[in-house]
């Protein structure tokens, strides 16, 4: 039994080491590691969406742009779901905040960029404030508070009519241009802008997942007790993750306003938060590029479904897909795609040793 | 010299029942103390109070001279108190090495790098699992990874809650060897080891404290305590000590 | 003054009914440790079936019994076939599956009966009695009496019957239920069935007020959620007190401020309680066991 004690001299730590590396299987199940390959996948996915959007009819292109906008909200929500294992049904609320604040500031005479920055800053600050009491709830029970908030938003928007335009809603800027490209509605400029914003935020969350902030959030999310005894403050970490989700939602809200051109309370019903959550679950809460799949699920699938299923019945399809995703273990489509990729790789190159 | 750990008149109550009642003890620096007692006697509760997870109803916990009464659980690592859990608490998505390195982030060994983590894993005999996820490694490795995570925070007082529970005979032997290695490397470390297996405790600890129904019924050098009649009656009962 | 009395007294009346919604959620929470999002839709199935029977000539009593029977059955089936089996993947997937079920049921209802609000029969609008000058109909009186007796019944069940005690224990400790001789799975199925019955019963009193639609049933959920967060998750009594307080508060809000503010006030009061008492007004402070 003393063999184990004799080992320090043959310490592998003394050998020069490569960077820490997860085995392919571990990388697939946790969604971590292999940052380079994942960044490349992200870029390819964004280019594919761009090509798809460009080659579609204006109506479908519009749905694709909205999907990318939803994907940004899904991405933020996935941090709450995938890192903390908590349920957030208020991503639609963050979108509403961002969108309404943006339109208010822009209509008040601010430049579009300034209005966007101000709207996102304001919404992020509000998200942080609301997160403080919300994260007092344990785990999945955050769903209750966020559901109640999501339920309140449409009527609150009607009540605050001086700022929101009440029932009638409020127009968004429609003549915003970057590099001479019109960023509005279903223009190519709008598609590119949404994709670039998505890609930047997705890359940021991918990098964070594999760095100190991601590790701290995972520690607290997966084993809160050990997080506490190792010096982390779970409340602070949770509030930060929720604030990040609020930030992403607000960014999505600004882009939503630019795309739709007009916002009103019916655009932000409580089901929006449910769709965004479900999109994340179905696509995979740990995958940055998977958030795009989640966005397409929310924005494009209902449009495509309409030729097969009456509009009233789309939620059945969504419910069934969600159930199937849960039955399959709740890891999401992105992970299954990665697994299949891994399988193909192993078939072609042979199974490598885990830590070659 | 101030004691590494001093506990004065500690009381902890759960819905009217005293899980700890008037517990006082003092442990000099560098001492390895085993904390034993029958199931439900309050051993885990004691560790939970020492690590700050539970707030005692009354009494004081003093570590290296500073009173930790107002120090929240998350700040105790800065005071040199770190612990492991009866059921390993590792983040499932972090590798064993990453889990170990978590201990360095807020601990006193803030300068520790991956090399240090690997070194600790090697000393505890599980370096080959460094890149694996907790779910992929044997239970005994998970438990030793927790010990490594605690050690990398450079604690002055290490609290281990049943590190051998659920381990096979072989894994137990590996654990004992690992603990002996730790004592060699860190002679100043004070250890409080909660354990069911009296033989294991006796083989690594020089002092024993015995809890029974929340009361400290004996505390002293290992052999003396094991020979104590009250201890035999309360804890060991008819079972032999080895 | 008249207005104030009316909103206070009728607030208590609807509040007691709403707290039933919280009670149904607590029953599931106690055995399973998560919350169901599908209770409103379970009630809706029972209510639409009952409405169909009523429209083809069934009396009110038969309609009511049918509503409760159908909701009980649907509740039990959802628990048995979908949610409880999914617990093997963890609490989060199980809770998410209740969202999936809610989506499927509401989609099916939208396809079959449509989304337009329908009026739903009630016990009787005629005046039963008047308190402090506020008139109460037989429907109001029935709502209060039935809800109160359900609460007393639940209280007795949880504190006296073996199954009730096992239900309380099982969420703390898996073995507790088995030790009391009732298997874990059976407890969960019973709780889903009971919660289904409670939703149907609650629907009977709420549908006439809100009118019946696939959207309006979700109001029950919101009130129930707020009631249990404010009251404390594992407390039936807490749900009663919080539900009543919510009823009064929402009535005052819509009378004196603006009906559009009601959901926001609900949400804000929930957050306020969380800030001051993280475990709700009557929740036990739980220490994690390690
Ligand atoms: N979080 C808690 N809530 C209620 N009672 C507890 C809690 N933790 C421990 N106890 C009780 O305190 C007593 C001591 O438990 P514990 O310290 O876990 O014993 P040991 O670790 O010695 O087996 C037991 O009676 C146990 O039931
Ligand atoms: Mg114990």
- Cβ–Cβ under 8 Å, residues C284 and B42: no
Give the integer Cα–Cα distance in Å for B142 and C137: 65
Specify the residue with its C-alpha closest to ligand 1, atom 17.
B42
pLDDT at C172 over 80: no
**Quick one: average pLDDT of A186-197?**
96
Ligand 1 contacts CB of residue B44 (under 6 A): yes
Contacts for C107 with CB less than 8 Å, ≥ 6 apart: A312, A313, A314, A315, A316, A317, A318, A319
Structure confidence at residue C181 (pLDDT) = 63
Measured in angstroms, how far is the CA atom of residue B40 from the centroid of ligand 2?
7
Task: Tell me whether A6 touches chain B (CB under 8 Å).
Answer: no
Partner-chain residue, chosen from B73, B136, B170, that has the shortest CB–CB distance to A228: B73
Specify the residue with its C-alpha closest to ligand 1, atom 8.
C289
Structure confidence at residue A49 (pLDDT) = 97
Q: How confident is the model at residue B32 (pLDDT cuts 50, 70, 90)?
A: very high
pLDDT at C55 over 90: yes
Q: How confident is the model at residue C218 (pLDDT cuts 50, 70, 90)?
A: confident
Tens digits of residue pLDDT in C80-93 = 999 999 988 888 99
Structure confidence at residue A1 (pLDDT) = 36
Structure confidence at residue B34 (pLDDT) = 95
Q: Please choose, from the candidates A158, A159, A174, the residue with its C-alpha nearest in 3D space to the C-alpha of residue A106.
A: A174
How far is Cα of residue A24 from the mean position of the Cα atoms in its chain? 24
Q: How many residues does chain C have?
A: 290
Q: Please choose, from the candidates A20, A94, A77, the residue with its C-alpha nearest in 3D space to the C-alpha of residue A205.
A: A77
Best of B49, B83, B89 to substitute, by most chain A Cβ atoms within 10 angstroms, is: B89
**Quick one: average pLDDT of C101-105?**
95
Chains that touch A (3 or more CB pairs under 8 A): B, C
Ligand 1 contacts CB of residue B43 (under 6 A): yes
Q: Which chain B residues contact residue C288 at CB under 8 A?
A: 53
Tens digits of residue pLDDT in C126-162 = 887 887 778 888 888 888 899 889 988 988 888 888 8
- Interface contact C91-A139, CB threshold 8 A: yes
Best of B43, B46, B48 to substitute, by most chain C Cβ atoms within 10 angstroms, is: B48
Specify the residue with its C-alpha closest to ligand 1, atom 19.
B40
Q: How confident is the model at residue C17 (pLDDT cuts 50, 70, 90)?
A: confident
SS3 content of chain A, % helix, strand, coil (to 5): 75, 0, 25
Task: Tell me whether A328 touches chain C (CB under 8 Å).
Answer: no
- Interface contact A149-C267, CB threshold 8 A: yes
Lowest mean pLDDT among A200-209, B114-123, C183-192: C183-192
Number of Cβ pairs < 8 A linking chain A and chain B: 139
Q: How confident is the model at residue B238 (pLDDT cuts 50, 70, 90)?
A: very low
Q: Which chain A residues contact residue C30 at CB under 8 A?
A: none
Structure confidence at residue A352 (pLDDT) = 53
Interface pTM, i.e. ipTM? 0.91
Between A198 and C166, residue with greater pLDDT: A198
Nearest ligand 1 atom to alpha carbon B54:
1
Count how many Cα atoms sit within 13 Å of the Cα of residue C210 in the half-sphere of its side chain.
22
Give the integer Cα–Cα distance in Å for B173 and B155: 24
Structure confidence at residue C182 (pLDDT) = 65
Structure confidence at residue A7 (pLDDT) = 37
A281: closest CA of chain B, how far (Å): 17
pLDDT at C232 over 50: yes
- Interface contact A139-C92, CB threshold 8 A: yes
Structure confidence at residue B228 (pLDDT) = 84
Structure confidence at residue B25 (pLDDT) = 94
- Interface contact C221-A274, CB threshold 8 A: no
pLDDT at A9 over 80: no
pTM of the model: 0.92
- Cβ–Cβ under 8 Å, residues C89 and C197: no
Structure confidence at residue C289 (pLDDT) = 67
Between A329 and A7, residue with greater pLDDT: A329
**Quick one: average pLDDT of A117-143?**
93
Q: Which chain A residues contact residue C233 at CB under 8 A?
A: 141
Lowest mean pLDDT among A119-133, A150-164, A326-340, B120-134: A326-340
Structure confidence at residue A344 (pLDDT) = 87
Q: Which chain A residues contact residue B51 at CB under 8 A?
A: 229
- Cβ–Cβ under 8 Å, residues B47 and B123: no
Chains that touch C (3 or more CB pairs under 8 A): A, B
Count how many Cα atoms sit within 13 Å of the Cα of residue A99 in the half-sphere of its side chain.
33
pLDDT at A5 over 80: no
Structure confidence at residue C286 (pLDDT) = 64
Ligand 1 contacts CB of residue B45 (under 6 A): yes
Partner-chain residue, chosen from C111, C274, C278, that has the shortest CB–CB distance to A310: C111
Structure confidence at residue C156 (pLDDT) = 87
Best of B75, B78, B91 to substitute, by most chain A Cβ atoms within 10 angstroms, is: B91
Q: What is the DSSP string of B201-218?
A: HHHH-SEEEEEETTEEEE
Which value, to the nearest 10 degrees, does the dihedral of the CA atoms of residues C6, C8, C13, C15 take?
A: 140
pLDDT at A355 over 50: no
Task: Tell me whether C103 touches chain A (CB under 8 Å).
Answer: yes
Specify the residue with its C-alpha closest to ligand 1, atom 7.
C289
Ligand 1 contacts CB of residue B56 (under 6 A): no
Strand partners, B192: B33, B159
Q: Which chain B residues contact residue A22 at CB under 8 A?
A: 95, 131, 133
Q: Percent of chain B scored above 70 by pLDDT?
A: 96
Tens digits of residue pLDDT in A305-330 = 888 888 888 889 999 999 999 998 87
- Cβ–Cβ under 8 Å, residues B234 and B225: no
Hey, which bits of chain B come out as E strands? 5-14, 17-27, 32-36, 58-63, 66-67, 81-83, 157-161, 190-194, 207-212, 215-221
Structure confidence at residue A330 (pLDDT) = 78
Task: Tell me whether C162 touches chain A (CB under 8 Å).
Answer: no
pLDDT at A207 over 50: yes
Between C220 and C62, residue with greater pLDDT: C62
Tokens for A260, please give them: 């739709």
- Across A276-290, B226-240, C208-222, C233-247, the highest mean pLDDT is recorded for A276-290
Structure confidence at residue A12 (pLDDT) = 43
Specify the residue with its C-alpha closest to ligand 1, atom 12.
B19
Q: How confident is the model at residue B230 (pLDDT cuts 50, 70, 90)?
A: confident
- Interface contact A320-C270, CB threshold 8 A: no
pLDDT at C13 over 50: yes
Tens digits of residue pLDDT in A68-84 = 999 999 999 999 999 99
Task: Tell me whether A87 touches chain C (CB under 8 Å).
Answer: yes
Q: Percent of chain A scored above 90 by pLDDT?
A: 68
Specify the residue with its C-alpha closest to ligand 1, atom 25.
B40
Chains that touch B (3 or more CB pairs under 8 A): A, C
- Across A331-340, B54-63, C169-178, the highest mean pLDDT is recorded for B54-63
Tokens for A91, please give them: 């991503």
**Quick one: average pLDDT of C219-224?**
84
Tens digits of residue pLDDT in B4-28 = 999 999 999 988 889 999 999 999 9
Q: Please choose, from the candidates B38, B32, B13, the residue with its C-alpha nearest in 3D space to the C-alpha of residue B23.
A: B13
Ligand 1 contacts CB of residue C285 (under 6 A): no
Mutate which of B10, B12, B14, B195 for ligand 1 pocket (most atoms within 8 A of beta carbon): B14
In terms of CA atoms, which chain C residue is nearest residue B54? Answer: C287
Q: How confident is the model at residue A10 (pLDDT cuts 50, 70, 90)?
A: very low
- Cβ–Cβ under 8 Å, residues C275 and A134: no
Structure confidence at residue A26 (pLDDT) = 83
Q: Are strands B190-194 and B207-212 parallel, antiparallel or unpaired?
A: unpaired
Measured in angstroms, how far is the CA atom of residue B161 from the centroid of ligand 2?
7
Structure confidence at residue C179 (pLDDT) = 64
Q: What angle do CA C232, C236, C241 make, to 5 degrees?
A: 70
C148: closest CA of chain B, how far (Å): 30
- Across A241-255, A263-277, C254-268, the highest mean pLDDT is recorded for A241-255
DSSP 8-class letter at A238:
H
Nearest ligand 1 atom to alpha carbon B211:
22
pLDDT at A57 over 50: yes
Note the ligand closest to the C-alpha atom of B19. 1
Structure confidence at residue A2 (pLDDT) = 35
The residue to which tokens 């009670």 are assigned: C23
If DSSP codes are grouped into helix, strand and coil, which group holds residue C7? helix
Hey, which bits of chain C come out as E strands? 127-131, 134-137
- Interface contact A231-B77, CB threshold 8 A: yes
Mean of pLDDT over chain B: 90
Task: Tell me whether A84 touches chain B (CB under 8 Å).
Answer: no
Ligand 1 contacts CB of residue C61 (under 6 A): no
Q: Are strands B58-63 and A262-263 parallel, antiparallel or unpaired?
A: unpaired
């Amino acid at each position: 039994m003393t063999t184990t004690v004799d080992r320090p001299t043959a310490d592998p730590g003394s050998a020069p080491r490569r960077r820490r590396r997860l085995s392919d299987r571990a990388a697939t199940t946790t969604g971590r590691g292999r940052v380079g390959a994942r960044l490349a996948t992200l870029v390819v996915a964004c280019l594919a969406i761009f090509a798809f959007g460009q080659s579609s009819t204006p109506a479908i292109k519009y749905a694709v742009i909205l999907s990318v906008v939803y994907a940004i909200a899904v991405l933020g929500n996935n941090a709450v779901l995938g890192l903390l294992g908590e349920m957030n049904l208020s991503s639609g609320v963050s979108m509403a905040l961002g969108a309404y604040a943006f339109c208010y500031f822009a209509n008040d005479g601010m430049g579009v960029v300034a209005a966007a920055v101000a709207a996102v800053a304001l919404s992020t600050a509000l998200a942080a404030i609301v997160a403080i009491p919300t994260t007092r709830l344990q785990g999945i029970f955050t769903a209750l508070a966020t559901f109640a908030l999501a339920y309140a938003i449409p009527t609150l928007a009607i009540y605050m009519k001086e700022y929101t335009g009440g029932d009638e809603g409020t127009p968004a800027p429609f003549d915003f241009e970057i590099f001479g490209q019109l960023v509005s509605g279903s223009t190519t400029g709008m598609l590119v802008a949404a994709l670039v914003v998505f890609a930047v935020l997705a890359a940021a969350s991918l990098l964070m997942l594999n760095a100190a902030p991601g590790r701290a959030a995972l520690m607290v999310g997966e084993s809160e007790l050990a997080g506490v005894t190792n010096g982390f403050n779970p409340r602070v970490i949770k509030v930060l993750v929720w604030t990040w989700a609020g930030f992403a939602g607000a960014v999505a809200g600004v882009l939503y306003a630019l795309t739709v051109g007009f916002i009103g309370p019916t655009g932000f019903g409580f089901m929006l938060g449910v769709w965004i959550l479900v999109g994340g679950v179905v696509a995979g809460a740990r995958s940055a590029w998977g958030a795009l799949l989640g966005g397409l699920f929310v924005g494009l699938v209902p449009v495509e479904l309409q030729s097969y299923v009456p509009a009233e019945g789309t939620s059945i399809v969504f419910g069934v897909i969600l159930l199937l995703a849960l039955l399959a273990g709740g890891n999401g489509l992105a992970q299954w795609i990665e697994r299949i990729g891994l399988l193909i790789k192993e078939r072609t190159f042979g199974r490598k040793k885990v830590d070659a | 010299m101030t004691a590494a750990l001093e506990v004065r008149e500690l009381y902890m109550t759960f819905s009217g029942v005293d899980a700890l009642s008037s517990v006082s003890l003092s442990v000099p620096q560098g001492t390895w103390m085993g904390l034993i007692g029958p199931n439900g006697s309050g051993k885990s509760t004691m560790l939970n109070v020492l690590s700050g997870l539970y707030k005692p109803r009354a009494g004081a916990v003093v570590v290296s001279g500073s009173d930790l009464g107002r120090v929240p659980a998350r700040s105790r690592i800065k005071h040199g108190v770190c612990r492991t859990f009866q059921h390993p608490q590792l983040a499932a998505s972090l590798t064993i090495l990453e889990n170990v390195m978590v201990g360095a982030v807020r601990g006193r060994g803030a300068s520790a790098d991956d090399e240090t983590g690997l070194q600790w894993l090697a000393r505890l005999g599980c370096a080959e699992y460094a890149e694996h996820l907790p779910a992929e490694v044997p239970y005994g490795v998970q438990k030793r990874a927790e010990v490594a995570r605690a050690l990398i925070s450079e604690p002055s007082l290490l609290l281990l809650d049943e590190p051998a529970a659920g381990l096979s005979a072989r894994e137990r032997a590996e654990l004992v060897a690992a603990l002996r290695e730790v004592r060699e490397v860190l002679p100043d470390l004070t250890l409080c080891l909660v354990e069911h297996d009296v033989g294991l405790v006796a083989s690594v600890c020089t002092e024993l404290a015995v809890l029974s129904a929340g009361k400290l019924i004996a505390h002293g050098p290992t052999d003396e305590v094991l020979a104590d009649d009250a201890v035999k009656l309360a804890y060991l009962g008819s079972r032999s000590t080895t | 003054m008249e207005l104030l009395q009316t909103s206070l007294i009728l607030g208590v009346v609807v509040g007691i009914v709403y707290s039933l919604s919280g009670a149904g959620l607590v029953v599931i929470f106690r055995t399973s440790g998560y919350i169901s999002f599908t209770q409103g839709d379970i009630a809706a199935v029972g209510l639409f079936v009952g409405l169909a029977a009523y429209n083809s000539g069934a009396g009110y009593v038969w309609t009511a019994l049918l509503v409760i029977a159908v909701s009980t059955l649907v509740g039990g089936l959802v628990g048995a076939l979908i949610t409880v089996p999914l617990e093997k993947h963890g609490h989060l997937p199980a809770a998410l599956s209740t969202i999936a079920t809610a989506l499927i049921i509401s989609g099916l209802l939208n396809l079959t009966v449509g989304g337009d609000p329908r009026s739903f029969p009630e016990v009787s609008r005629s005046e039963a009695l008047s308190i402090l000058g506020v008139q109460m109909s037989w429907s109001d009186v029935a709502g209060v009496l039935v809800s109160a007796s359900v609460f007393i019944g639940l209280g007795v069940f949880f504190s006296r019957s073996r199954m009730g005690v096992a239900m309380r224990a099982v969420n703390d400790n898996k073995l507790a239920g088995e030790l009391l001789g009732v298997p874990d799975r059976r407890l969960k199925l019973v709780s889903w069935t009971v919660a289904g019955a409670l939703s149907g019963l609650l629907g009977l009193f709420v549908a006439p007020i809100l009118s019946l639609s696939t959207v309006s049933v979700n109001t029950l959920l919101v009130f129930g959620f707020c009631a249990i967060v404010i009251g404390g998750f594992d407390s039936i009594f807490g749900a009663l007190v919080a539900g009543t307080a919510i009823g009064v508060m929402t009535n005052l809000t819509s009378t004196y401020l603006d009906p559009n503010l009601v959901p926001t006030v609900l949400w804000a009061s929930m957050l306020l309680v969380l800030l001051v008492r993280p475990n709700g007004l009557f929740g036990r402070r739980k220490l994690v066991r390690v």
